[in-house]
Amino acid sequence: MSRRSIRFELTFWYSLIMALTLLIVGVAIERLAYNRISASIDNSLRQGAYAIINEVALLKGDVGAAMADTQGTSLNPPPWPPRYVQLLDTNMAVVYRSRNLGAFQLPVDTLLLRRLRSGMVIAPDMKLLDRERFRVITFRMRPVKGSPIGWGQVALSLHDLDRAKRKNRLALAFIIPGAIVISAVLGRWLATRALQPIEQVNRTARHIGATNLHERLAPRPVEDEVGRLIDTLNDLFERLEQNFIQINRFSADVSHELRTPLTIIQGEAEVALKPTAAPEEMRQALEVIVDEARRMSQLVRNLLMLARLESGQQRPQLTRLSLRPIVEDLAEEARYMASTKGLTLELGRIDDAEVLGDAVLLHQLGFNLIDNAVKYTPPGGVVALSLEVAATTARLSVRDTGTGIEPGELEFIFERFYRSARTRPLGEGGSGLGLSLVKQILEIHRGSVQVTSKPGEGSRFVIILPLERISRAGRREAGSSPIGERALS
């Protein structure tokens, strides 16, 4: 990447545009002034020509003789601006030259004279005597009565005009480089001033690193481009910080939670490897190892899912879906899980409810609740499942006749890694993440949960989700009555 500063670019373009503007304006002004002066010179030439034509009109006979008569005095046009006059007879011979011409003779273009039957013509500017440029007007002369008696020429020096032009160019040659220098200095100052806030942002942003990710750029009092840049950067830092916290928390959680199963695996493996170990002992050790490994993989899976949901990395696919098939699937799983533990599954009403949700996540939510109900209910108990539509909400209820939850524990059960010491022997394989996932999934779906529980009698978890569309309720089976009185939402 080439190293070029915005300041340099701004200064460069500013100076260039300034120089070009000055050049264009300078040249345009010069052209305008030149054209004006040029037009006034033409006017002066015509005035001179008319003055002579008018005088000649009154003459009679040979113009040469007339000139000789008057010695040309009356034919001298007004002296200012100094005009040069030359008269020619019909043979194109010079018969009169104004005194200011001295010995010099104005050039005679015979071709032009022949073609000039009447009126006057201004020839292109010419350089005479290798000195100055002149402009010459040529005209036909004729008395009022009679045929043409010759031609007249009036010339004006362009010396003043050319000098003004030279001076102008000289001035431009000095002014433009000077202006470039001034605009470069000015441009640099302006660019520095304009970029100063960005420099400031740059310095502060560079200073923010992993150790002080909580710091933010100071907002600007005005809502300008830099202000918006600061807002964007602050948003970015916010997201970075959140992700950073998530990663740290994830690694801390993983290392903390994996320590116990890893110690168990190591201990059991050592037992199995003992030369004196009996085959039955080895088998038991391996079973424990497999159980712990399964628990670890479940834990890591849950943790990952939780971390992704919390950080927004896993974008939920929220679509309009019917909860009924999900609950029917869950019922199948619940039936199997309950039967393996000697529990009865009571299936209540399963209404048809449409919500805006992610099918995979909602399934996971239901599964976690059923898993807990099965885990924390001793054999012979009941697990009940129902889905009911009430007003504008769908209510998924998972009830059990298990150990129940102490009132003081209700506020903690949704926290990460919270596991009641009382239920720990029952909840083997649990990691304390099931209900945190439930909470996270509910947040995504704008749902809530109510928990009613009575220790020793059982618990009921009711998930409340806003309905997308209320369809006709389809009754499958009568529901059962709630147990506890305490609720958490």
Q: Which residues bind ligand ADP (CB under 6 A)?
A: 368, 372-373, 376, 400, 402-405, 413, 418-420, 423, 427, 430-436, 459
CB of 233 to ligand ADP, least distance (A): 38
CB of 265 to ligand ADP, least distance (A): 19
CA 19 centroid distance within chain: 32
Which of 471, 452, 455 is closest to 463 using CA atoms? 452
Q: Is 288 left (phi over 0), alpha (psi -120 to 50) or beta?
A: alpha
The alpha-helical segments, DSSP class H, found in 58-97 are: 63-70
CA 259 centroid distance within chain: 47
Query: Which CB sits closer to ligand ADP, 64 or 404?
Result: 404
CB of 356 to ligand ADP, least distance (A): 25
**Three-state secondary structure call for residue 258:** helix
Query: Which CB sits closer to ligand ADP, 183 or 440?
Result: 440
Query: Which CB sits closer to ligand ADP, 150 or 402?
Result: 402
CB of 427 to ligand ADP, least distance (A): 4
d(CA 121, CA 481): 120
CB of 298 to ligand ADP, least distance (A): 9
Which of 188, 196, 175, 172 is closest to 14 using CA atoms? 188
Query: Which CB sits closer to ligand ADP, 125 or 406?
Result: 406
CB of 304 to ligand ADP, least distance (A): 16
> Which element (helix H / strand E) includes 153?
strand 150-157
Contact (CB, 8 A) for 449 and 442? yes
Question: Apex CA 290: angle with CA 285 and CA 291, to 5°?
Answer: 95
**Three-state secondary structure call for residue 461:** strand
Query: Which CB sits closer to ligand ADP, 16 or 487?
Result: 487
Query: Which CB sits closer to ligand ADP, 7 or 422?
Result: 422
Query: Which CB sits closer to ligand ADP, 237 or 414?
Result: 414
Tokens for 90, please give them.
Answer: 């019909």
> Which element (helix H / strand E) includes 388?
strand 382-390
